[in-house]
Structures are given as structure tokens and as C-alpha cells.
Amino acid sequence: MMKLDAEALEHLARGAAFLGTGGGGDPYIGRLMAQEAIREFGMPEVVAPQDVPDDAMVYTSAMIGAPTVLVEKIASGDDVVLAVRKLEAHRGRPADFITPVEIGGCNSMIPIVAAARMGLPLVDADGMGRAFPELQMVTFNVYGVPAAPASLVDEHGNSVIIEAADAKTTEDIARVNVVQMGLSALMSCYAMNGADLKRSAVFGTLTVALEIGRAIARGRRSGDPVAALLEALRASQYYNRCKVLFHGKIVDLRRETTRGFSIGHCHIESIGGEGASLEIEFQNENLVARQNGQVRAVVPDLVCVVDAESAEPITTEALRYGQRVKVVGASTAPVMRSPEALRVFGPRVFGIEQDFVPLEEIHPDA
């Protein structure tokens, strides 16, 4: 069983920030919240999804909004619980387990807060094995779990219950409310039973995030954290096709907070001076990396920016001019590459005019 002590939380948050592909919120803030919740309420039990009874009720816990705002509006913990309690009351069934919606930085920590404060077990799984900007972009939705009813709670305790016909409508209604709530809110949605969880979730992602964080720490001690990161990815079930796509310096950054998202482009030029450049397009998360106009990796595969020396994952709100970075591409879970999944979060959904091409086809040496 995973032990969520302070050291493990640091590794878990760092690994989840990497898997979040630039999104999911600031991992440092999330880790502090989780540490405080565990200190005050005790460590939640972490269980494998296979061990969740089919008739048990599983509720999700997450923050929703623009990452640039989440940094400045830290959840209190009471609001994390209130979002779940509001949905419990509306559905008339209490939660038996808590699970993440996504494995991105802060949103890997918020469910730990909910589980600790509510005294519930935490499931080692999520709905994408990475992070995505919109509520419908999860395997829960792809494989038939309704997003609604969903609850939203702001920092003042104001709340909204959303009833909607489908996940995209739930996202649209939630996004309007999040803007009204100051671009940041706590949420619970995709309440499901254990049987639905087992057929729709991406398994073991908390464990993988923890191993990635530990590998980066080992690599810092041995002198090559990026190599250690790649070694951990290659040993994982889903992310084993991976490659450093580019090494360079950020020379231009366009980022704006609009429509409830952080949207922009990051331009990176090679440090070696050979004239190569890489452009990353993001909407909360990194969506596509193009080198001199050619696609090097594209959603739903992972495009991750890390510090060139320390391998520290860099979220989209933390990107800065002059940073020396490495861009890592990695494969995603097979369930994320199915035709059904690509209709929900493939490249064309984000306005990228091309079909999905797996990383290992673009880079046979990955």
C-alpha cells in the first residue's frame, strides 16, 4: 500500500506535475494542502481500483479553472469537502471512496485532501493518466459514466448543482459558473459505482507518479535527472515510449487567461545555435509540439516541459522567458488512443488540423 508521508507527497506531486503535461494546477500548493490534511486528519488508505467493490460509491474531487488563477486562490480544505458533500446530498448516497479526475499537479493532491478530511480510502486511478482542460475529456465520459450531476463550490461557500444531458454541456455550464466564481472553484462530478470505475479508469497512476518523482530525486543525486526520468517512464505500463524532443531556451511566450483557461504558445530555440526551434501550443495543458513546423508529439500523447538541469516539471503558468528546458514526449495509455477516445480529446477537438499519430510512429527510436 502506498504510504503518503511528507517525502512521498513531494515525489508524488512532482511526478504528477510531469504527467499533467503543464496543467492540473501548481503541485507545490497542492502538496502543502495535502500535507496539512494528513497532519490534521491522518493518512488516507490508498487502494487499487480492483479492490473497490462493484456496488461501492466513488466520488471525484478536483479544482477547476485557469491555472494562472489557481496559484493565487488556494483552497481552504473545507471547500474541497463541501463540493463532495453537496453532490452526496443531491444524489442521496454517501461516498465510499474518492478518486482523482486527472493526475495533474494540484489535481492529484486535492483528492488526497478530500480523502483525508472525510476519512475515506483513495483509489489509485484517474480518468486520463494525464491532465486535460475540459470536463468531458476523460475516460469516464468516453466509456459511459455521466458527468452530471456535478457540484461546484467557491471559496465563499457558494455552490451550484449542475444537471445536464451530457458531459460537454456539463463542461459548458460549469465553465460559465467558474468564471463567475473568479476563475477557480472546487468540484465533484462523475460519481460512479465500483464496477463503472473498473471499466473506465486508467489504473495505477498515483503509483506511477510517485515512481517518476522518486526517479527524478535519484537522478539529481547521481547527476542526470532527465535520464532517470526517462528510465522510470520506460519501466511504466503506459508511458514507456518516450524521448527528449528538444533542448533549448524559451525565447518567446504568449499566454492569456480567457474563457476560464490559460491559453498560449511557447517558443523555444536550440541552445546549440544550429537554428532549430520548437513551438508548443497549450490550453492549460501542452497540446502539440512542432519543430520547425513539423509535429513532434501531439495529444493525447504527453508533451512535457522540464528544467534542463533538474528535470523539475514546469507548468504552463510557470513558463518564463529565458528558462533552459528540455521537452519530453511520452506515449499515453492505450485506452486514451482508442477511436472513441480520440473523438473526445484527439488533436482535431483542439483545433489542431491533423489526425493523431502515436509518438513511436513519429519517433521509431522512442
> What are the φ and ψ backbone dihedral angles of 122, each rounded to 5 degrees?
-110, 135
Query: What span, in angstroms and rounded, lies between the C-alpha atoms of 172 and 19?
Result: 25
Query: Which DSSP category does 358 fall into?
Result: -
pLDDT of res. 67: 64
Contacts of 13 (CB under 8 A, 6+ apart): 27, 28, 30, 31, 34, 105, 108, 109, 213
Q: Where are the domains of the chain?
A: 6-203, 235-362
pLDDT at 313: 96
The DSSP annotation for 231-293 comes to HHHHTSSSS-SEEEEEEEEEEEEEEEEETTEEEEEEEEEETTSS--EEEEEEESEEEEEEETT
Grid coordinates in use for 213? 518523482
Assigned fold of 235-362: CV3147-like (2.40.390)
Along the 366 residues of the chain, how does pLDDT read in single tens digits? 677 777 889 999 999 999 999 987 778 888 989 999 999 999 999 999 999 999 999 999 999 986 666 666 677 889 999 999 999 999 999 999 999 999 988 899 999 999 999 999 999 999 999 999 899 999 999 999 999 999 999 999 999 999 999 999 999 999 999 989 988 899 999 999 999 999 999 999 999 999 999 999 999 999 999 999 999 999 999 999 999 999 999 999 998 877 767 789 999 999 876 679 999 999 989 999 999 889 999 999 999 999 999 999 999 989 999 999 999 999 999 999 999 999 999 999 999 999 999 999 999 999
Cβ neighbours of 227 (radius 10 Å) = 14
Please report the pLDDT score of residue 16 as a whole number: 95
For residue 302, give the nearest of 236, 227, 242, 214 by alpha carbon.
242
pTM passes above 0.85: yes
pLDDT at position 4: 76
Q: Is 297 helix (H, G, I), strand (E, B) or coil?
A: strand
Domain 6-203 in CATH 3.40.50.10490: no
Cis peptide before 300 (omega within 30 of 0): yes
